[in-house]
Amino acid sequence: MADRMLQFVRLPQAQPEKRDLAERRTDFGEIYREYTQAAAAAQASRCSQCGVPFCSVHCPLQNNIPDWLKLTAEGRLEEAYEVSSATNTFPEICGRICPQDRLCEGNCVIEKGFESVTIGAVERYITDTAWERGWVSPPTPRVELPHSIGIIGAGPAGLAVAERLRRRGWGVHVYDRHDRVGGLMIYGIPNFKLEKAVVLRRWRQFEAGGIRFHLDCVVGRDVTLAELRARHDAVFIATGVYRPRDIDCPGLGLDGVVPALDYLTASNRNNLGDAVAGFDSGALDARGKRVVVVGGGDTAMDCVRTAVRQGAAAVTCLYRRDRANMPGSMREVKNAEEEGVRFEWQAAPEAFVGKDGHVAAVRATRMHLGLPDATGRQGVAPVPGSGFELPCDLAIKALGFDPEDVPAMFDEPALAVTRWGTLKINHRTFMTSLPGVFAGGDIVRGASLVVWAIRDGRDAAEQIETWVRARAEPARAAA
């Protein structure tokens, strides 16, 4: 091993090349090129195989990262794929969009001066290779069991449950209000981070394995939760969080002031070849416009970078804290800066100023960063007399998301929620207040990450199986 690993002492970190700036600013293709096998092996060999792998500890899936890095360094890619896919339903997706700088790579123990192993890029390389070489198999079970599950929501949480239970022989039915599978992976996250073909090929594999998708099906309208409970042995709710947070300032009703997800969904659908009314009319297209995005998270970064690619005249991000306090991934902030986005740090909107009913400017004020509060986050306060105006034709609000009123949506007042409106579950069993109804992903955690949704789905699948089997056994014994 000593020959192959620990190469960080002589080999510098090399992330996959980014596509040429001039090219990538004008299309929606992913910005990182794929490693060659030699580059993946070389970068994997930088791993120090440390005794306590903090990369695994800080991975929500506890992926066995040092093991698959070593196998990659040795050219044993099929085994590397087996190890990486044993703990992760979508390693190729996590390889692309996990904020590795805050998770595995951010906790790599290689001395700071040497820089971490490029874990995400190697993970992506392994799984893309597995797809190319036909090692990724549909979740076809060996035996069919009499159990069935109804899953509400075809995002990563719902899909992770679907995959686990289908492989074990369950009848799996996934209900989603959208016409495509993937949740925010298909209509939220833009192509330049996650090309849609990567999500669509999983959908095809899942169908090939016998998972039944009921699309364009709004639970609460086309079918009730009570009907799904009667139809299946268990139900898993993974409906995500979609209610946009708003700002309290004048001018919100002006044309051209839009919520982030409307904007991103229109762009994603347009890239998938759909006719989108708001996009085709120009209302949700940034072409030629001066765009101001309010917010500093991943959604805001996705909006600014989408606007650049649509050919906006200028793109500015308005964020009330400073760069160091941004909640989004630093890698994405850097990409946005490279692509020409201007950041107005420590600035917040006071009003959207209109002309003939359409937004014409954002009036903003500078913010002062105060002392950290109990959570460690610095408070903010407006700096008196610091107001300024940014000319603007399209203002995008990217201030985060809250849950919809799920008990009302499903007409089930007995479904308990927390004070934040997320579903209340027993965190050991994943069961909600309704027997046999389980939940996970963003609708339980609040807006989070794909990797956490996968974790919830995989853990919940175990618990669902335990619960259904426990109920089935006494019934069988009595018969």
Ligand X SMILES: Cc1cc2nc3c(=O)[nH]c(=O)nc-3n(C[C@H](O)[C@H](O)[C@H](O)COP(=O)(O)OP(=O)(O)OC[C@H]3O[C@@H](n4cnc5c(N)ncnc54)[C@H](O)[C@@H]3O)c2cc1C
**Closest Cα partner for 199 from 271, 332, 122, 92?**
92
Task: Give the C-alpha separation, 284 to 257, whole Å.
Answer: 10
Question: From the CB of 181, what's the least distance to ligand X, in Å?
Answer: 8
The rounded distance, in Å, linking the Cα atoms of 75 and 80 is 9
Q: Residue 313 half-sphere exposure, CB side, CA atoms within 13 Å?
A: 7
CA 475 – CA 245 distance, rounded (Å): 47
> Least CB distance from residue 103 to ligand X, whole Å?
9
Which lies closer to ligand X via its Cβ, residue 108 or residue 219? Answer: 219
Return d(Cα 79, Cα 44) in angstroms, integer: 14
In sequence order, which ranges of 210-276 are alpha helices (DSSP H)? 225-231, 260-271
Q: Is 269 helix (H, G, I), strand (E, B) or coil?
A: helix
Residue with smaller CB distance to ligand X, 98 or 104: 98
- Shortest approach of ligand X to residue 432 CB, angstroms? 14
Angstrom distance (rounded) from CA 318 to CA 99: 22
Termini Cα distance of the chain: 58
How do strand 342-344 and strand 314-318 relate by DSSP bridges? Answer: parallel
Cβ at position 415, least distance to ligand X in Å? 13
- For ligand X, the closer of residues 71 and 94 by Cβ is 94
Nearest residue (CB) to ligand X, 70 versus 458: 458
Position of tokens 């090939």? 208
Please state the closest distance from residue 217 (CB atom) to ligand X, in A: 6
Backbone torsion region of residue 421, taken as left when φ is above 0, otherwise alpha when ψ lies between -120 and 50, otherwise beta: left
Shortest distance, position 319 Cβ to ligand X, whole Å: 16
User: Which residue reads 């992903």 in tokens?
Assistant: 441
Closer Cβ to ligand X, 41 or 396, answer by number: 396
Q: Residue 58 or 178: which CB sits closer to ligand X?
A: 178
- Closer residue to ligand X, CB minimum distance, 49 or 205: 205
- Amino acid letter, residue 284: L
Minimum separation from the CB atom of position 169 to ligand X (A):
23
Q: How far is the CB of 407 from ligand X (least distance, A)?
A: 12
Q: State whether the Cα torsion 75-77-78-82 is positive or negative.
A: positive
For ligand X, the binding residues (CB under 6 A) are 97-98, 152-158, 175-178, 183-185, 188-189, 193, 218-220, 238-240, 261, 264, 298-299, 302, 409, 441-443, 448-451, 453
**Can you tell me the distance from the alpha carbon of 199 to that of 179, in angstroms, rounded to the nearest whole number?**
14
Closest distance to ligand X from the beta carbon of 193 (Å): 6
Q: Is 268 exposed, middle or buried (0-12, 13-18, 19+ CB in 10 A)?
A: buried
Q: Give the nearer residue to ligand X in terms of CB position, either 62 or 378.
A: 62
**CB of 77 or CB of 261, closer to ligand X:** 261
Nearer to ligand X, 292 or 449 (CB): 449
CB of residue 7 to ligand X, shortest distance in Å: 29
Smallest CA-to-CA distance from 177 within 211, 151, 205, 149 is with 151
CA dist., res. 72 & res. 240, Å (int):
35
Strand partners, 237: 152, 439
Q: 67 near 85, Cβ under 8 Å?
A: no
